[in-house]
């Protein structure tokens, strides 16, 4: 009887242990299903949001394309009027005529850039070697670098490959490089590249005055610029191109001075 009581006590103890294990297992399964359901719901909402954004983008694109077309026609006529005034108008009006021509050209340029931004990108991806690619981009801006008296240093190891559209991605990197050169009155611009896990990390650092917190938050917005003659298109276009490649671009001020742009792209 004593052995029977011990067996009963042990069986009862085992029962509660097994019940507890099943309870914990069921709780973990419930939590797991809940997390999966939340992720599925969030993904579904993201897809719906993306579809809505694409539809809204198509509507805005069609509307703005029509507006741009309607504005360009009178601008062309106005440009012809200013050209006639430049040739046949009185001398005392030539300064105002020249100012009018410059403003018409500026408006036309803004409309052209805006229309170009609305067009979707058609990527033609190729396998590119990073150092060779960066050297080609830098070579395109060597005249600007010489005019700015800014040295461009490339610190990219050999043998790093990535997939990208060579023309569009060169335009994105070139826009960032151009911004860095124009922001650096003297000094140098440093381009570094490395591979981290399955990503290519590219940084472009200038020696300019840097960015305020507000500027860093708005630097990639369309038509936002800190330059007197800038349109605020280049960095916005760079962001669009990088994101079209599935990448990410950010900017931040450096504590030692200047600005650092970072581009993350899949290898």
Q: pLDDT above 90 covers what percent of the chain?
A: 26
Per the DSSP assignment, residues forming a β-bridge with 266 are 199
Q: Please give the pLDDT value at position 170.
A: 93
pLDDT tens-place string over residues 228-252: 666 677 888 899 889 889 899 999 8
Burial of 235 (0-12, 13-18, 19+ CB in 10 A): buried
Q: How confident is the model at residue 75 (pLDDT cuts 50, 70, 90)?
A: confident
Q: Which of 146-155, 211-220, 230-239 ranks highest by mean pLDDT?
A: 146-155
Q: What is the 3-state secondary structure (H, E, C) of 188-216?
A: EEEEEEEEECCEEEEEEECCCCCCCHHHH
pLDDT at residue 84 is higher than 80: yes
- Please give the sequence-ordered ranges of beta strands (E in DSSP) within the chain, or none if there are none: 126-129, 151-155, 161-164, 188-196, 199-205, 248-253, 259-266
Looking from the CA of 10 toward its CB, the CA atoms found within 13 Å total 6
Q: Please give the pLDDT value at position 184.
A: 85
Q: Which of 109-113, 211-215, 255-259, 261-265 ranks highest by mean pLDDT?
A: 261-265
Sign of the CA dihedral running 97, 102, 106, 108:
positive
Q: Please give the pLDDT value at position 118.
A: 64
Q: pLDDT above 70 covers what percent of the chain?
A: 87
Sheet strands side by side (includes 259-266): 151-155, 188-196, 199-205, 259-266, 248-253
- Give the global pTM: 0.62
């Amino acid at each position: 009887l004593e052995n029977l009581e011990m067996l009963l006590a042990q069986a009862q103890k085992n029962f509660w242990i097994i019940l507890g294990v099943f309870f914990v297992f069921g709780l973990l399964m419930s939590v797991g299903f809940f997390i999966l359901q939340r992720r599925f719901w969030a993904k579904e909402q993201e897809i719906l949001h993306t579809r809505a954004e694409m539809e809204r983008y198509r509507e805005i694109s069609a509307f703005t394309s029509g507006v741009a077309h309607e504005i360009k026609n009178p601008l062309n006529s106005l440009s012809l009027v200013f050209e006639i005034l430049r040739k046949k108008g009185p001398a005392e009006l030539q300064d105002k005529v020249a100012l009018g021509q410059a403003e018409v050209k500026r408006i036309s340029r803004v409309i052209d850039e805006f229309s170009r931004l609305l067009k979707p990108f058609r990527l033609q991806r190729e396998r590119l070697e990073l150092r060779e690619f960066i050297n080609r981009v830098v070579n395109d801006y060597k005249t600007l670098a010489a005019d700015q008296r800014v040295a461009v240093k490339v610190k990219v190891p050999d043998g790093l490959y990535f997939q990208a559209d060579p023309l569009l991605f060169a335009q994105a990197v070139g826009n960032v490089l151009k911004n860095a050169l124009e922001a650096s009155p003297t000094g140098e611009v440093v381009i570094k590249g490395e591979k981290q896990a399955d990503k290519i990390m590219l940084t472009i650092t200038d020696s300019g005055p840097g960015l305020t917190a507000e500027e860093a938050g708005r630097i990639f917005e369309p038509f936002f610029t800190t330059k007197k003659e800038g349109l605020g298109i280049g960095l916005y276009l760079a962001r669009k191109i990088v994101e079209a490649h599935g990448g990410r671009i950010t900017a931040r001020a450096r504590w030692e001075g200047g600005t650092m742009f970072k581009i993350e792209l899949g290898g």
